[in-house]
Amino acid sequence: MMIGLAASAAGVVAACDGGAKKAGGAKKASACADLSGLTPADIKVREQLAYVEASKVEGKNCANCGLFKAAKPCGSCTVIKGPIAEKGYCTAWAPKAA
Ligand code: SF4
């Protein structure tokens, strides 16, 4: 019974994987996802401030944050080290000075 369930679950996972590849091909990593130059402490700060590459908070994103420094393809931030996406967001968001 347990073996049957495990085999079924593996089949479902494999099927889901295949569907994703058919729909959009291999997932392409974001240009701003390379954290290889950061220390574990730097990465921890990103996590503690709940940084995400795509803001889910209406009206708030890195591009309109006062702590963002714009650059292409990725900007930077005065409180979080590493690449920062314009559409990103973290809990340290602060409005730009007027
Ligand atoms: S403080 Fe947060 S929201 Fe503002 S630029 Fe940095 S990562 Fe983006």
Residue 77: enclosing H or E segment and its boundaries? Answer: strand 76-77
Entry pTM: 0.72
Considering the domain architecture, whether residues 17 and 54 belong to the same structural domain is answered as no
Closest by CA to 80, choosing from 52, 29, 42, is: 42
Q: What is the domain range of residue 42?
A: 31-98
Considering the domain architecture, whether residues 69 and 90 belong to the same structural domain is answered as yes
- pLDDT digits 0-9 by tens, 14-65: 333 333 333 444 566 788 999 999 999 999 999 999 999 999 999 999 999 9
**Pocket around ligand 1 at a 6 A CB cut-off:** 51, 62, 65, 67-68, 77, 79-80, 84, 88-90, 92-93
Q: Please spell the DSSP secondary structure of 51-73, one letter per residue.
A: -BSS--STT--GGGBTTEE--SS
pLDDT at 1 over 70: no
- Rounded to an integer, the average pLDDT of 9-14 is 38
Considering the domain architecture, whether residues 8 and 50 belong to the same structural domain is answered as no
The per-residue pLDDT for 23 is 41
Considering the domain architecture, whether residues 15 and 46 belong to the same structural domain is answered as no
Tell me, in angstroms, the distance from the centre of ligand 1 to residue 92's CA: 6
CATH code of the domain in which 54 resides: 4.10.490.10
Q: Report the distance separating Cα 86 and Cα 92, nearest Å.
A: 15
Considering the domain architecture, whether residues 20 and 56 belong to the same structural domain is answered as no
Alpha carbon distance, N-terminus to C-terminus of the chain: 65
- Whether 53 contacts 88, CB under 8 Å: yes
Q: How many domains does the chain have?
A: 2
